[in-house]
Amino acid sequence: DGGITQSPKYLFRKEGQNVTLSCEQNLNHDAMYWYRQDPGQGLRLIYYSQIVNDFQKGDIAEGYSVSREKKESFPLTVTSAQKNPTAFYLCATESGTGAYSNQPQHFGDGTRLSIL
């Protein structure tokens, strides 16, 4: 999706190291999401943010942290507390507002994280 840029495309983490995955969007969407995808599996929600300076834990938040200081940016940090970080990480945005939305999510092209 041209409006969402994830970087880097590939990332390697050493033992005990924190790494940060970048997600930038120019779609002017309020909501942003981070998902983890393991091989042959669906997506699991890590964190999401519906507005600047606010974010909520998803189903698998342990070992991860996020910030939302700007509307355009929602970086994800994989901390050393995440013991099995090898996965494909996807960032998404959504344009809806309010408690419920009937808008689709738009995805970046992902970052593949591996352990060295």
Partner 1 sequence: SQQGEEDPQALSIQEGENATMNCSYKTSINNLQWYRQNSGRGLVHLILIRSNEREKHSGRLRVTLDTSKKSSSLLITASRAADTASYFCASQLSGSARQLTFGSGTQLTVLP
Piece of 21-29, 63-71, 74-82, 95-103 that binds partner 1 (CB under 8 A): 95-103
Least separation in angstroms between CB 54 and partner 1 = 12
* DSSP result, the chain: -TTEEEE-SEEEE-TT--EEEEEEE-S--SEEEEEEE-TT--EEEEEEEEETTEEEE-TT-TTEEE--SBTTB--EEE-TT-S---EEEEEEEE---SS-----EEE---EEEEE-
Determine, following the binding rule CB under 8 A, whether residue 99 of this chain makes contact with partner 1.
yes
Residue among 9 and 14 whose Cβ is closer to partner 1: 9
Least separation in angstroms between CB 16 and partner 1 = 28
Determine, following the binding rule CB under 8 A, whether residue 109 of this chain makes contact with partner 1.
yes
Provide the mask over 6-45, with x wherever binding to partner 1 is found by CB under 8 A and - wherever it is not.
x------------------------x---x----xxxxxx
Number of residues that bind partner 1 (CB under 8 A): 34
